[in-house]
Chains A and B, each alone.
Chain A
Amino acid sequence: MTTKLVAIAVAVLSMTGMAAAKPLKVVGPWEIAGIDPAQSGFVFSRMQVAETLVSVDADGKLTAGLATSWSAAEDGLTWRFRLREAARFHDGSAVTAAIVADTLRKVQGGAGALSQVPVAGIEPDGEDVVIRLSKPFAALPAYLVNYTTIILAPSSIGASGKVERIVGSGPYRVKSLTPPLNMQLEAAAEWAGAKPGIAEVDYQAVGQGETRALMAESGEADLVFSMLPVSVERLKRNPNLDVRIATIPRTRLLKVNAASPLFSDVRVRRAISATLDREGTTRVILRNADLAATQLFPKALAGWHDPELPPLKRDLAAAKALLAEAGWTPGADGVLHKDGKPFSFTLLTYASWPELPPIATAIQAQLKQVGIDAKVSVGNASEIPARHKDGTLEMGLVSRLYSIVPDAIGTLRDDYKSGGSDWGATGWSNDELNALVETMAQTSDPAARAPMQRRAIAILQSELPSIPVTWSELAVVANKRVTGLRIDPLEVNYGLAAIRWAQ
């Protein structure tokens, strides 16, 4: 009798346990600094709350987002985006071409990626959004993947004209949002596509990498993004966890001021590149020697990596010879001198990414071997653009993302234009590269683009306005309770809706 009662009680308890939906607990490093799409749109895009017109698959191929199809007129100036039929916002209202056109017009006037597109006008036309350009620009759809272009319902905007709540059109809707660290999502009834496998999601931002690893290990979190390299080996040994690693289009590079007397000679830039022990640095600090950047773009960036290109590699003898050729001779203190001045400068970096300062000190030690004296200074991320602007930057170690627009042409256009840019070249410009980039931006045929891409990479490899140091990877840990995880190297959409509890 007692055993029967216990059995019934257990059965009832387990049923109530099942009825109460358990949320998927997601942990990541990204804080929601402000809910404006220009600031935190990437969180709402990755978590599938809001959609952009165009999306992208894991191979970098553009796919349908809020727009199911798009086409350009013969002259390449008028683009037409057809919206998904019956698309609804989470407040029940319809996603109309007028709302989309309004949103995009506003975004285009801001400082985001879309502001770099030569747009002449954005108008609704029936179910289509029509974007008119002032000159042909084949990469336009790729710019519409950028998170700053997520489309929100008019009810998101408060009386002040600012975004005050997030009312998107994705599979999940915001249930509660407590910036900067917490967000709860639930399956949106308005979503017409496949129902999310797990109805509720809890997102928690945790800045400390060690704490994130502990949350994965203790089983508190189901899905943890961005693990530190030092934790990965330990996590891989845990039988309850599934560690996935993807190479992401992010390169850590030395941003060199090619206008400064120290680095204006290309032989000096090549010597510095030949001094770098990329393999040692990546093996020790990033725990993966394959991340040594032998050219600017990693293999994952289809079309932008040329396996035929002679790799950048360590060659101290060649480095010393190049420096001697450029007129640098060792002084009594072991530091190189030229015209009575020592080869001494500040290597500026920042701590937004925890691995940058240790990589900077490793580079400092490597440069010392050929008589170059670098002082490492760790500041705020904004100091590098500030020093770039006032011309006082000598060398900076930066982490550059090439998927702000999924077509790397977006970043290249900005980084190596004449006058350079925040994270691109300083004091360096190349007419051939500029012409190539502009032609590529207007060319959509991959076969026609391929030789131009190879030539552009070759110019950057030979001139070294930025000296590549390491590529990057994203480590994601999933508890084996969940299944259906898909890693998106472009970090546009984490596909949470496809995740299910493993049975």
Chain B
Amino acid sequence: MGSLPSAGRNRMKRLVLARLLQAGLVMLVVGILCFVLVRALPGDPAMRIAAGRYGPDANITEAAEQVRRELGLDQPLLVQLGASLGQLARLDLGHSVVTGLPITKELRIQLGATLWLSGSALALSLLLGPPIGLLAGLRRGGWVDNASLGGAIVLRSLPPFVLGLLLILVFAMLLGLFPPAGYGTWRDLALPALTLALGLAAVSSRVARDAVAAVARTPYLAFARLKGLPEAVVVRRHVLRNAAIPVISYLALQAIYLIEGVVVVETLFGIPGIGHALVHAVIARDVPMVQGTALAMGLLFVVIAMAVDLACHWLDPRPKRT
């Protein structure tokens, strides 16, 4: 892309700085909110933690008293919040009160699994969605457009667990190609990633189709054709670049769909991911784990948003009028 004019560089700097400031604020707000929300939930946290640790066959009341003493849950709430924030300020996420493992280790395993899954899902969806959208947008009302609209409606309206079960039935039971659940190899990742990718591609194909259709109506495209450029060059040079901006911006939104879908898909396919971990952490009132997970996810959103901003800036370097 060559060297940017200094105005453009400054804008990039401001962008990155703003996002970094955002990250600091996210950390403070997430730290306080997680603590307050989890502790505001009904029920005695010591009992919940004891049940999370020792299971529903255990002597929970007795175990809860030990948990209370061990974790200082009998101290005033403000003291506990202060200790929790102090720990976060030192960039120490602490230990899970249920598993006893350092949160950083839990995140490495569980967030790592989720990133593998979401990354594969996103990559798969990019292979499916935008190309279909491009074909549909170039021939509006054609059979590709109509078929992909129908497909998108069906796929997006199926909840992920139904779609996942259907894929298991077809690819694991009927064809025997992939295992129905498990974690560790790429074969295990195939079906959960496809479950998520189909949901993502259903929408991204429509976004791409609309973006391409909008570009197809523009005077500059008509001019490009009029001046005699071959269709392949028209598409590559004018359609792809212009239509890519809404599609890439939409990727940031899809990250949210991924987190939503990931909870169900991870449970269904037995993947030790962050969605599964977060649900368990909330049930067991595991404040450090909820904080760590929410922080990691929050920071991840900031990083994704930043990457999308930068990508859009690269695609469309014209300064924005505000």
Contacts and interface: CB of A to CB of B under 8 A. Distances in A.
Interface stretch (B93-101, B193-201, B312-320): B93-101
A422 B172 contact: no
Interface in B216-272: 267-272
B51 interface: yes
A34 B101 contact: yes
Contact of A214 (B99, B181, B280): B181
Interface in A378-418: 380-383, 385-386, 388-389, 399-401, 404, 414
A350 interface: yes
Nearest to B187: A220
Interface residues on B, range: 35 or more
Given A33-B99, A39-B53, A386-B47, A214 B60 contact: no
A220 B267 contact: no
Interface stretch (B10-18, B61-69, B125-133): B61-69
Interface in B95-131: 96, 98-101, 109
Interface residues on A, range: 35 or more
A100 B271 CA distance: 36
Contact of A111 (B48, B59, B179): B59
Contacts of A39: 53-55, 99
A214 B56 CA distance: 26
Contacts of A179: 99, 101, 109, 272
Contact of A211 (B100, B101, B270): B270
B181 A215 contact: yes
Contact of A182 (B51, B168, B272): B272
B92 interface: no
B95 to A, nearest CB: 9
A182 B183 contact: yes
A133 interface: no
Interface in A321-361: 350, 352-353
B99 A34 contact: yes
A118 interface: no
B181 A111 contact: no
B272 A220 contact: no
B74 interface: no
Contacts of A218: 172-173, 176, 179-180
Interface in B254-301: 267-272, 277, 280, 283
Contacts of B44: 382, 386
Contacts of A208: 181, 267-268, 270
B58 interface: yes
Interface stretch (A5-13, A199-207, A298-306, A448-456): A199-207
A412 B283 CA distance: 29
Contacts of B165: 210
B31 interface: no
Contacts of A364: none
A136 to B, nearest CB: 23
Contacts of B64: 382, 385
B182 A386 contact: no
A206 B99 contact: no
Contact of A388 (B61, B184, B277): B61
A404 B177 CA distance: 41
Contacts of A350: 56
A158 to B, nearest CB: 10
A378 B179 CA distance: 33
A2 interface: no
Nearest to A220: B179
Given A39-B53, A111-B59, A34 B283 contact: no
A206 B270 contact: yes
Contact of B181 (A34, A211, A400): A211
A178 interface: yes
Contacts, number: 133
B272 A382 contact: no
A220 B180 contact: yes
B277 to A, nearest CB: 8
B2 interface: no
Contacts of A235: none
Contacts of A217: 173
B59 A34 contact: no
Nearest to B169: A214
B48 A382 contact: yes
A35 B109 CA distance: 15
A146 to B, nearest CB: 11
Contact of A382 (B43, B62, B172, B268): B43
Given A180-B272, A211-B270, A404-B57, A382 B98 contact: no
A242 interface: no
Contacts of B173: 214, 217-218
A401 B55 CA distance: 12
B100 A162 contact: yes
B203 interface: no
A226 interface: no
Nearest to A218: B172
B180 A214 contact: yes
A386 B183 contact: no
A196 interface: no
A422 B267 CA distance: 29
B202 interface: no
Contacts of A400: 57
B50 interface: yes
Nearest to B100: A34
Contact of B176 (A27, A38, A180, A219): A219
A111 B51 contact: no
Nearest to A163: B100
Nearest to A111: B63
Contacts of B96: 34
Contacts of B66: 110-111
B137 interface: no
B98 to A, nearest CB: 6
A69 interface: no
A388 B60 CA distance: 11
Interface string B200-213: 00000000000000
Most buried by A among B51, B165, B179, B181: B181
A264 interface: no
A207 B267 contact: yes
Interface in B2-28: none
B160 interface: no
B133 to A, nearest CB: 33
A223 B47 CA distance: 34
A299 to B, nearest CB: 21
Contact of B270 (A181, A352, A423): A181
List the 8 shortest-distance A-B pairs measured between CB atoms, nearest first. A381-B56, A382-B51, A34-B99, A206-B270, A382-B47, A214-B180, A181-B272, A111-B63
Given A34-B100, A39-B54, A386-B44, 8 more contacts: A34-B98, A39-B55, A111-B58, A179-B109, A208-B270, A211-B268, A220-B172, A382-B51
Interface of B: 43-44, 47-48, 50-64, 66, 96, 98-101, 109, 165, 168, 172-173, 176, 179-184, 267-272, 277, 280, 283
14 contacts: A34-B101, A35-B99, A204-B183, A206-B182, A214-B180, A218-B172, A218-B176, A218-B179, A219-B176, A352-B55, A386-B61, A404-B57, A422-B60, A422-B61
Interface of A: 27, 33-36, 38-39, 110-111, 115, 162, 178-182, 204-208, 210-212, 214-215, 217-220, 350, 352-353, 380-383, 385-386, 388-389, 399-401, 404, 414, 421-423
